[in-house]
Amino acid sequence: MRITTLFVTFLLALTSTFALADEQPKENPKYEGIEVVVNVNQASAQEIADLLQGIGLKKAQAIVEYRQQHGAFEKIDDLAKVSGIGEATVAKNVARIKL
């Protein structure tokens, strides 16, 4: 009985490790092998959500609203001023962002 419990525990640990690996954001296959760049000073919320990693439509709409209220972003780091957008998200997308 004890060996069975250990074996089941091992299998659960192993499968949960694979499940966590699957939850990480994946590259959209549509853009595989293509350098993806989005101009956050001109793009629509939908374009921003589609092209930047870790940014859904709600955060993309916040970027567009911030841009409309405060003017164009002057530096990529200025995106972190948008509510819900952290420095880590900006850093993850720095190669994709164009001003």
CATH fold for domain 30-98: DNA polymerase; domain 1 (1.10.150)
DSSP state of 75: S
Q: What is the pLDDT of residue 70?
A: 97
3-state secondary structure of 98: strand
Instruction: State the Cα–Cα distance between residues 34 and 18, nearest whole angstrom.
Output: 27
- Mean pLDDT is lowest, of 23-27, 33-37, 55-59, for 23-27
Instruction: State the Cα–Cα distance between residues 45 and 36, nearest whole angstrom.
Output: 16
Beta carbons within 8 Å of 50's beta carbon, 6+ residues apart: 28
pTM above 0.75? no
Report domain extents, the chain: 30-98
Instruction: State the Cα–Cα distance between residues 33 and 23, nearest whole angstrom.
Output: 22
